[in-house]
Amino acid sequence: MRTMQNYVAIEGCDGVGKTTALKALAKVLLAEGFEFQLTKEPGGPKSLMVEWNSNSFDYPFGAMYDGFRELCVNNPQIPQLAKRALYKADSFYNWLAVVKPAIEQGITVLSDRSWVSDIAYGGALAGVNPEALFAFNTALVPEQHALTRVIYLDCPEDIREARLAANIADEADKYGVEARRKICSLYHDVLCNYVKDFVIIDTNQSLEKVVDAMKEFVVKGAPSK
């Protein structure tokens, strides 16, 4: 078994193909004997398992917990500012229940979204100052920032919007193109200002090339066992 001690967040605006790319990457890593754990924000491993229509024996989902995903993504009547608090509660739950224990055991965690999303979406949708959100994250979990590496998936706007229109999964996919433009803009600001190690990968190419680029970033410097 080959181990990798990383916390890698897979980020990107809705419609860029995160779910497809991460699932394909997980299959490749499993086939090549890498040890890792999967999770998701909000909702943790359980939400990822449901989204992938899988069970806990197919992928290394790790510890399960009952998070706040349903409140976060499928209740448009909840004000965005209140939702930010729900997202953060779920994120800290995920950190304590899933991410931190895995990292302490020397196991890489691949997370579908992270605190990076919180800043980009919180700034765009709730108008919260990104610096304030970053300070809040680091005040409560200071070690998280230093450990976070980010794969940011991106593609041209017309491709993203066409993909999203064909696959509306929840209320969060209905924010609209203007909101997503703001989110993408803030994502780039967050990467440049707050993330120490990241790569931007264009998903408007073959899935094989996307996965190869993701894998190269994830396993960089991974020791063998």
Domain span including residue 113:
2-219
Instruction: Give the domain CATH number at 196.
Output: 3.40.50.300
Q: Which of 45, 121, 54 is nearest to 83 (CA)?
A: 121
Q: Is residue 225 part of a domain?
A: no
Cis peptide before 42 (omega within 30 of 0): yes
Q: Is residue 44 part of a domain?
A: yes
Task: Enter the pTM of the model.
Answer: 0.90
Strand blocks (E) in the chain: 2-3, 7-11, 34-40, 108-112, 148-154, 197-202
**Per the structure block, which two tokens stand in for 190?**
């967050």
Q: Is residue 70 part of a domain?
A: yes
Tokens 């700034």 belong to residue: 123
Residue 198 is which amino acid? Answer: F
Q: Is residue 79 part of a domain?
A: yes
> Which residues lie below 8 Å from residue 84, measured CB to CB, with a gap of 6+?
118, 122, 126, 128, 133
Q: Is residue 224 part of a domain?
A: no
**Per the structure block, which two tokens stand in for 121?**
């979406």
Q: Which of 110, 113, 104 is nearest to 217 (CA)?
A: 110
List 37's β-bridge partners, or say none. Answer: 109
pLDDT tens digits for range 189-202 = 999 999 999 999 99
Q: What's the total number of domains in the chain?
A: 1
| Residue bearing the bigger pLDDT, 169 or 177 | 177
Q: Which of 193, 186, 196 is nearest to 120 (CA)?
A: 186
pLDDT tens digits for range 11-25 = 999 999 999 999 999
Q: Is residue 149 part of a domain?
A: yes
DSSP 108-124: EEEEES-HHHHHHHHHH
pLDDT tens digits for range 91-128 = 999 999 999 999 988 899 999 999 999 999 999 988 88
Q: Is residue 115 part of a domain?
A: yes
